[in-house]
Amino acid sequence: MYKVNEIFETIQGEGSFTGVPAIFIRLQGCPVGCSWCDTKHTWAVNPDLQVKLDSVMAKSAETEQWAAITAEQLLALFQEKGYQARHVVITGGEPCMYDLNPLCNTLHAAGYQTQIETSGTFAVQVPAKSWVTVSPKVNMKGGYKVLQSALDRADEIKHPVAMDKHIEQLLQLLQQTDISNKLIYLQPISQQAKATALAISYCKKYNWRLSVQVHKYIGIA
């Protein structure tokens, strides 16, 4: 059973799949504690706020309510809703608190591709064909360390930046990581102009890529 806070179809606005129609599965639960997190309603798993799937799908605002759902129920929901996207983004919260193999294998068997968005602070339990986006969270309130195993598994590393120290943190993380087959993105925190200028300068310096959270600029979920 997966604890799900939201399910919706939209356009992926970040990283390698920017512009791709996608179904987002937002899982409940995250102890990492990022100060700038824009989904803090997914942090706590309160048993008193467990609801039925219908209630989750009927949400009109962000809440801490969640539903326990199987992989098969999620697949049936996609078909019931008539979702056309074939790219599924599993995010959170921190999705790697869960073993995602059953969910991803079920989706792959039905013809979907999967992408995982994780902080890199939990072991990444996914099939080999899943695309893994690690957005490393360093020195956050929760005290979790970014795992080398998560960085090694990443297909892309998408690092949030606002100050030079964030670049220094990324460079330190990459020292022990083979990035020859990985894509490296810098993503300005909160669309700040200074953060964007900083990210652009370092993208040019290191031949990295820029991720600008397109969905926030155009005003979609």
82 is in an annotated binding site: no
153 annotated as ligand-binding: no
Instruction: Determine if residue 86 is labeled as part of a ligand binding site.
Output: no
10 is in an annotated binding site: no
The reply to whether 11 sits in an annotated binding site is yes
Q: What angle do CA 161, 209, 115 make, to 5 degrees?
A: 85
**Is 104 annotated as belonging to a binding site?**
no
79 in a known ligand binding site: no
172 in a labelled binding site: no
Q: Is 34 annotated as a binding residue?
A: yes
Say if residue 182 carries a ligand binding annotation. no
- Ligand-binding site membership of 95 (annotated): no
Distance CA 200, CA 186 (A): 8
**Annotated binding residue 93:** yes
Alpha-carbon distance 166 to 120, whole Å?
16
Main-chain phi, psi angles of 195, to 5 degrees: -65, -40
**Separation CA 205–CA 199 (nearest Å):** 10
201 labeled part of a ligand binding site: no
- Cβ contact 187:159 at 8 Å: yes
Question: Does 135 show up as a binding residue in the annotation?
Answer: yes
Which residues are paired to 116 by β-bridges?
90, 132
Q: Is 30 annotated as a binding residue?
A: yes
Take residue 210 and report the two structure tokens written for it: 């820029």
Binding-site residues for Mg(2+), in ranges, read 39
Binding-site residues for S-adenosyl-L-methionine, in ranges, read 36-38, 93, 135-137
Binding-site residues for [4Fe-4S] cluster, in ranges, read 30, 34, 37
Binding-site residues, in ranges, read 11-13, 26, 30, 34, 36-39, 91, 93, 135-137
Binding-site residues for substrate, in ranges, read 11-13, 26, 91
